[in-house]
Structure 1
Amino acid sequence: MINQLSWKVGGQQGEGIESTGEIFCIALNRLGYYLYGYRHFSSRIKGGHTNNKIRVSTKETRAISDDLDILVAFDQETIDVNYHEMHDGSIIIADAKFKPVKPDDTEASLYVVPFTEIATDLGTSLMKNMVAIGATCAILGMEISVFSEVVEEIFGRKGEEIVKKNMDAIAAGYDYMKDELGEQLGAMKLEEADGQKRLFMIGNDAIALGAIAGGCRFMAAYPITPASEIMEYLIKKLPVLGGTVIQTEDEIAAATMAIGANYGGVRALTASAGPGLSLKMEAIGLAGITETPIVIVDTQRGGPSTGLPTKQEQSDLMAMIYGTHGEIPKIVMAPSTVEEAFYDTAEAFNLAEEYQCPVIVLSDLQLSLGKQTVQPLDYSKVEIRRGKLVDYDIPDTEGHAYFKRYEVTADGVSPRVIPGMKNGVHHVTGVEHDETGKPSESPLNRKAQMDKRMRKIENIRFNTPVYKNVPHAESDLLIVGFNSTRGAIEEAIERLEADGIKVNHAQIRLIHPFPTDEVLPLVQTAKKVVVIENNATGQLANILKMNVGHVNKISSILKYDGNPFLPHEIHTQCKELF
């Protein structure tokens, strides 16, 4: 028996590859297994190779596995592109329709199964993915009944006959593979899972759910990979709660609409990827100078320009901190797990209102679209804090003086009013202004207002600015990362520790303002520091150097080919440092 399995299904986009993986995962998740899935897909609606790699384990996992145990292939390209991940003992199940050929340089076993033919005999070739699931069940020695509930949920609305046909397809695939395997039936039988019920979701769903829990009731956005699922989720959920989602004509409109909603007192969100954030930058500057709260989600992808829109990258870091013209207070958060994506997004709305500035929730494609098992969310941890939003009667003033919306205060945060409040009248403008919002070019006023705004983020209160795993008072190596690299780093650390290398780990969750006080002691007590990131220029490493020094001991491990890090890559390259 095995305690973890790596399974991949591949074919041409539009062949039902995603649904195959989805059905497989949901069933195993309900048995209590931990799952982590990553989908490789092309930036087109139909055609082009796509695959979905699923890791199944009896313990929590947050990374793609190094190798591959089972490959389900609907075309020859799937074998050619993915066989190099396989090992002695791996199994390829391929559709007989395309006359599969196994490369000479692999020791994996090839089983040819007539997926399409079996499905067609049962009524439609579309059910070939169900036949493939049945064949997989035979290898795992798994009862096909575990899929009954999922099939009923997915196809029940189409009638009992369709449900039965899909279960018949699974059974047919099982029976065919059973005969092919002979004594190898159940060769990769999984250890029994704990049976506990857990969520199974992508990071974008967690971000959207966190926004709802955090009081968001308006979203303005324009569709873009890999952020669109946030809008799609909220389109379904917000109207039920009295909220609204508007698909705008472009990213500029999305940002300014969200600013307007926040100015009116409604917690509002906009979300996009790198190209969209570039268009939003002027509006983000407007939010900064008008001190209007706004939460912006950036799901990083391969750039520049259109770049690699469906591939992993972490190259927006500097742009999110320094992208706006001029200088404004800004908070940039970077959750590293799906759970953190939920809690951090909810907290982002509190920070935006408390500090009256833009808050960017930074994700990446692997975190946003990787589907995985998630522990039950604790809604009692979510609170609503609205900062200095005036909830009292503003007293009359002689001469009907304007309200000091931008009053210079010790902490840099001024009282904020919702439009229409009696005696709360003030100017709002994108040019420099005095305490009442009236335009002013006075050098003294300019300095006072700039200093006031920048004071806001000197003492940001954020519960866990750095996720730390620090078992050693002094370490041979400190590994630093952000966003989705955490899972691969954690597995690499286990291997490095087994090699006798003492390793500490810091995953940065608050990118700006940088948590120097949290990170500096870890750097000081490490012989070497390595930063893991998916970009070509070492952006996080440079930010680390700017804020903590110790430049000579900091190095980078970079990957920017569009693929996420694998644990063995980090392990191997870190070991080379010693």
Structure 2
Amino acid sequence: MISQLSWKIGGQQGEGVESTDRIFSTALNRLGYYLYGYRHFSSRIKGGHTNNKIRISTHPIRAISDDLDILVAFDQESIDLNAHELRAGGVIVADAKFSPVVPEGVDARLFAVPITAIAEELGTSLMKNMVASGASWALLGLPMEVFNKAVEEEFGRKGQAVVDKNIEAVKRGAEFVLEQAGGPLDEFKLDDADGKQKLFIIGNEAIGLGTIAAGCRLMSAYPITPASEIMEYLIKKLPKFGGTVVQTEDEIAAVTMAIGANYAGVRTMTASAGPGLSLMMEAIGLAGMTETPLVIVDTQRGGPSTGLPTKQEQSDLNAMVYGTHGEIPKVVVAPASIEDCFYDMIEAFNVSEQYQVPVIVMTDLQLSLGKQSCEVLDFDSIQIKRGKLVSDLPATENNELFKRYELTEDGVSPRVIPGEKGGIHHVTGVEHDEVGRPSESAINRKKMMDKRLNKLNSLQFRDAIRVDAPFEEPDLLIIGMGSTGGTIDEARTRLSTDGLTTNHVTVRLIAPFPTEQLTPYLSSAKRVVVLENNATGQLASQIKMHAGFADKIHSLLKYDGNPFLPSEVHKACKELN
């Protein structure tokens, strides 16, 4: 019996790889296993190699595995591109239709199953994904009734006849491979799962759920990979809570609509990727100048320009921190888990309204689109904080205008919803005085700039850094952001067997930078490794600029479109000592 296993399915985009993975993983989730998925897909609707990899475990996991136990292949290309990941004695389940061949040097057992032929016998080649998944499920020796239940849920809306056909496809695939193998493979039998209820969702879905829980009732957005799933999720869910999604003509319209709706008192957000964020920059400055709350999600992908729209990267950090012209207060936060994606959206809306600033939630493709297990979310802990949103204003003499941009001790001015009696004021993108009238006075300009820029001095953000620091003076401090945390922890386990002591910090608040919290861990470490998916070390540069310690900081960078593997982090860190 084993405690974890990796399974991958590969083929041409559009031939059922995604649905096979979805049903397979849904059944595993029902059994109570912890799952971590990664999608490798092309930037096209159909055609081009795609594969989905799932890591299955009896304990929590937050990284893809280095190796592979079972590969399900719909074509020879899937074998050629992925077989090198197979561990010695791994298994390939392949469609006999293309006469599969195991590449030279790969120690794997091949099961050639007539996947397409069985599907066609049942009426359509579209069911080959069910034949393939039934075959691989059977090799694991897992209960077929659980898998069949997942099939029923997937196809139930199409009628019982379709469900029965697909269950028959699963059964035929299972029977064929079990006859070849002589029964389930003992070396791949998983220990029983804990059976606890878990969510199994992608980060974008958690962001959407957090958006609703935060009280957002309008999303204005334009579709873009890898952010579109947020929009798609909210299109289905927001109307149930009295909200709506508006697909705008472009990202400029999306962000300005969000600013307008927030000004009117409706919690509103938008989401995009790097190219869309670029188009939003002028409007983000408008939100900063008018002190209008604004929440934006940037799901990072490979750039620049169109770049690698379906691949992993963390290269928008500088754009988020510095992209707007002029100087405004801005908050940039980086979720590091599925749970963070949920809770950080609630915090983002609260902070945006409390401090009247733009808040950018920075994810990356792996966190946004990688499907993972997460604990059941705590809705009872949610608090909605709207800051200095005032009403029932006292009567004023001589029709005085409301001091919307009043110079206050904490830099945050009172805010009203349009139409509030006594709340009339000017709103403009040019510099202005306390009631919003345009002003070019040098004295006023300095006061207003200081007011805006100082308002975040009192900011308290949940887990600005997340720390695992068992050692007072470790050999290595490894720092990461976004989806890299689980990979770093697995590498640390291997480094400990090499006799190296390590601490781990995940930076979650990118701006304003948590210098005070991070400095003690930088100071105590002998060496510091900063791990990030970009070519220029943007997080490392932030650390050096704000905290120093440039002499002990080493960058570990990967920008080929793929996430880090634990083995890569282990090897690079070991070579530093």
TM-score bracket for this pair, using the shorter chain length: over 0.9
Q: 2:207 corresponds to which residue?
A: 207
2:141 corresponds to: 141
The residue type equivalent to 2:465 in the other structure is V
Q: What residue number does 1:48 align with? A: 48
The residue correspondences of 1:396-475 to structure 2 (distance < 5 A) are: 396-475=395-474
Structure-1 residue corresponding to 2:261: 261
- Equivalent residue, structure 1, for 2:389: 389
> Contact 1:36–1:370 at 8 Å: present in 2 too?
yes
Which residue pairs with 1:307 in the alignment? 307
Instruction: Return the letter of the residue paired with 1:561.
Output: D
Paired with 2:117 and 2:462, the residues of 1 have a C-alpha distance of 57
Contact 1:135 1:170 in 2 (8 A): yes
Aligned: 1:252 with 2:264: no
Secondary structure of the residue that 1:490 maps to in structure 2?
Answer: helix
Residue aligning to 2:320: 320
Q: What TM-score results when the alignment is normalised by the length of structure 1? A: 0.99
Distance 1:463 1:44 in 2: 38
Letter in structure 1 aligned against 2:321: I
In the alignment, what sits opposite 1:166?
166
Instruction: Quote the Cα distance in structure 2 between the aligned partners of 1:148 and 1:183.
Output: 19
Matches of 1:242 and 1:137, distance apart in 2:
42
Q: Note if 1:10 corresponds to 2:17.
A: no
Q: 2:558 maps to what in 1?
A: 559
Correspondence list, 1:165-564, <5 A:
165-182=165-182, 185-391=185-391, 393-564=392-563
SS of residue matched to 2:188: coil
Tell me if structure 1 keeps the 8 A contact 2:290–2:427.
yes
For residues 456-487 of structure 1, give each alpha carbon's deviation from its aligned partner in whole angstroms, at most 9, with x where no partner exists. 11121112111111111221110000000111
Aligned mates of 1:514, 1:151 — CA distance in 2:
48
CA contact (8 A) 2:5 2:56 kept: yes
5+ residue gaps, structure 2, are: none
Given that 2:216 and 2:266 are in contact with CA atoms closer than 8 Å, whether structure 1 keeps it comes out as: yes
Report what 1:577 is aligned to: 576
How much does 1:100 deviate? Answer: 1.2
2:431 and 2:438 in contact (8 A); partners too? yes
AA aligned to 1:557 is L
Deviates more, 1:174-183 or 1:425-434: 174-183
Distance (whole Å) between structure 2 residues aligned to residue 176 and residue 149 of structure 1: 21
What secondary structure sits across from 1:384 in the alignment?
A: coil
1:183 Cα deviation after fit? 6.2
2:126 partner SS: helix
TM-score, normalised by the number of residues in structure 2: 0.99
Would you say 1:31 and 2:26 are equivalent positions? Answer: no
> Counterpart of 1:502 in structure 2: which amino acid?
T
**CA displacement at 1:396 relative to structure 2:** 2.1
Question: Secondary structure in 2 aligned to 1:555?
Answer: strand
Aligned letter for 1:564?
P
Q: Look up the match of 1:115.
A: 115
1:61 aligns with 2:39: no
Secondary structure at the residue paired with 2:129? helix
Contact 1:141 1:187 in 2 (8 A): no
CA contact (8 A) 1:218 1:266 kept: yes
1:197-244 Cα deviation digits (max 9, x unpaired): 111000000001001101100110000000000011111111111111
How much does 1:184 deviate? 6.3
Q: Percent identity?
A: 66
Alpha-carbon distance in 1 for matches of 2:193, 2:500: 32
Separation in structure 2 between the aligned mates of residue 448 and residue 290 of structure 1, nearest angstrom? 15
Q: CA–CA distance in 2 between the matches of 1:484 and 1:65?
A: 14
On the 8 A contact 1:139/1:187 being kept in 2, the answer is no
Cα displacement string for residues 535-572 of structure 1 (whole angstroms, at most 9, x for unaligned residues):
00000000011111011000110000000001110011
Paired AA for residue 8 in structure 1: K
User: Aligned partners of 1:211, 1:495: CA distance in 2, in Å?
Assistant: 38
Contact persistence 1:36–1:56 (CA under 8 A): yes
What CA distance in whole angstroms lies between the structure 2 residues aligned with 1:398 and 1:175? 86
* TM-fit CA distance, 1:137: 2.1
For structure 1, which segment, 331-340 or 140-149, has the greater mean C-alpha deviation from structure 2 after superposition?
140-149
Moved over 4 A (4+): none
Distance 2:494 2:116 in 1: 42
User: What secondary structure does 1:285 align onto?
Assistant: helix
Structure 1 position 516, deviation (Å): 0.9
Contact in 1 for aligned 2:141/2:184 (Cα 8 Å): no
1: distance between equivalents of 2:280 and 2:462? 28
Aligned partners of 1:123 and 1:186: how far apart in 2? 34
The SS at the match of 2:259 is helix
Number of residue-to-residue matches in the alignment? 577
* Higher mean C-alpha displacement, 261-270 vs 452-461: 452-461
Instruction: Supply the distance in 2 between the matched residues of 1:9 and 1:287 (Cα, whole angstroms).
Output: 45
Distance of 1:387 and 1:280 partners within structure 2: 25
Deviations 1:441-470 (Å, cap 9, x if unpaired)?
000000000000001111211121111111
Segments of 5+ residues of structure 1 without an aligned counterpart are none
* Deviations 1:80-138 (CA, angstroms, capped at 9, x unpaired): 11111112111111101111121112111221111000111122111111111111123
Greater mean alpha carbon deviation, residues 333-342 or residues 166-175: 166-175
RMSD in angstroms over aligned alpha carbons? 0.9
Task: Tell me the SS of whatever aligns to 1:574.
Answer: helix
Query: Is the 2:11–2:78 contact (alpha carbons within 8 Å) kept by the matching residues of 1?
Result: yes
Q: Secondary structure at the match of 1:505?
A: strand
Moved more, 95-104 or 47-56: 95-104
- The one-letter amino acid paired with 1:348 is A
Counterparts of 1:108 and 1:501, CA distance in 2: 34
Answer yes or no: is the 8 Å Cα contact 1:30–1:196 preserved in 2.
no
3-state SS, counterpart of residue 2 of structure 1:
coil
